[in-house]
Amino acid sequence: MMINGHGFGPDYIVDSGIALIVLIPLFLAILVRQISKKRVTFFRISGLIMFFIYIYALIKVTIFPMMIFKFGSKAYRYGFGKQYLANFNVLEISKYTPIQIWGNIALILPLSILIAYLWPHKLSAFKFNICVGILTTIGIEMTQLIMAFFYLGSRTFDINDLILNLLGYLLGFCIYKVIKVDCKFNPNFWTNLSA
């Protein structure tokens, strides 16, 4: 990690496995709630499993690994916020590789599909679903900014990532709506899909 022009290695690195301490009980609580409300179907359980695997992968890619420096480390002698924290230059998107562009689009795309499918009465409407997308992408970028400020991570707040993530989220929502319409008009949709 570069801090004030000097390289520092963290004393500890926290892996994404720690997120499972929260995600597994949360998954089980939602599963128990679904069972108690008698909403258990193969597709619903499969959707919940995919949702939690996706959330874990999203956290792993965007937040972890966390870098921990010991109290009194030389990294702290310069104060906080001395590394590159944010990019607000929209024109830098032209320097992105195709993998960066498509990776950022694909990063949030499944979220809009999964939440609209799992919670159709609350989150399949455009207004509520898009609010979740905006809050999620801003939340990820703000978390990265705060972590970089306190030297917990080396990622930055990037406006281009935010734009591409929102584009992917909107694309995912459109895909969900197309599939939903096709399922209504074609009763053999799932049969044709598996053939």
pLDDT in tens, 41-70: 888 889 999 999 999 999 999 999 999 988
pLDDT of residue 169: 96
pLDDT of residue 14: 93
148 sits in which H/E element? helix 126-149
Q: What is the pTM of this model?
A: 0.85
Dihedral sign, CA of 57, 58, 59, 65? positive
Q: How far apart are CA 68 and CA 79, in angstroms?
A: 15
Q: Across the chain, which distance is largest between two alpha carbons, in Å?
A: 65
Q: How far apart are CA 117 and CA 110, in angstroms?
A: 11
66 sits in which H/E element? strand 66-68
* DSSP annotation of 71: T
Pairing of strands 157-158, 86-87: parallel
Tokens 């009763």 belong to residue? 187
* DSSP annotation of 154: -
Q: Is the pLDDT of residue 106 over 80?
A: yes
User: Do residues 66 and 13 make contact, with C-beta atoms less than 8 angstroms apart?
Assistant: yes
